[in-house]
Amino acid sequence: MKKMTIVLLLITLSTIFFPASARAQQQDNDMLTVLKSSFYGGLTGALIGTAFLAFREKPGDHLKDIRVGAGVGVIIGTVYGLFKTTGTAFVEVQDGYLTVQAPSFQIGIDPETKGLIGSVDLLKIPF
């Protein structure tokens, strides 16, 4: 019982002394987002490659479809992660400097027409 009380006290004190901003910075790590996106893309691609084996006459002869699917998935996941983390405009003016970079894309569905809507941020100037 005494050990359990000490452990609970240490956990409580550690949450008090470590600020929430440190945890928020860890969650906002762009590299982690890109790595997760590429991992999940590779996993999804490998699953799709495995599913394609069901349509082959001799699936054992086409195991490379799994590798190809995983490779394409990693590439697509990495590109998605990079676009997700950039969140920037094509041209951005900040602190008197002009930067040109890859723009972020937003895709959504119009609630009225149920159509697909896409937008690209081209210019960002803070006031």
What pLDDT is stored for residue 103 in this prediction? Answer: 67
Residues 6+ away with beta carbon under 8 Å from 24 = none
Question: What confidence tens digit (pLDDT) does each residue in 47-100 have?
Answer: 999 999 888 888 888 889 899 999 999 999 988 887 777 666 667 777 777 777
Q: Bigger pLDDT: 107 or 46?
A: 46
What pLDDT is stored for residue 120 in this prediction? Answer: 73
In DSSP terms, 22 is beta-bridged to none
What pLDDT is stored for residue 10 in this prediction? Answer: 57
Please state the rounded mean pLDDT for residues 26-49: 84
Q: Is residue 102's pLDDT more than 50? A: yes
Q: Is residue 20's pLDDT more than 80? A: no
What are the residue boundaries of the structural domains of the chain, listed by start?
Answer: 29-86, 88-127
Q: Is 119 exposed, middle or buried (0-12, 13-18, 19+ CB in 10 A)?
A: exposed
What pLDDT is stored for residue 27 in this prediction? Answer: 46
Q: Bigger pLDDT: 91 or 127?
A: 91
Please state the rounded mean pLDDT for residues 103-116: 78
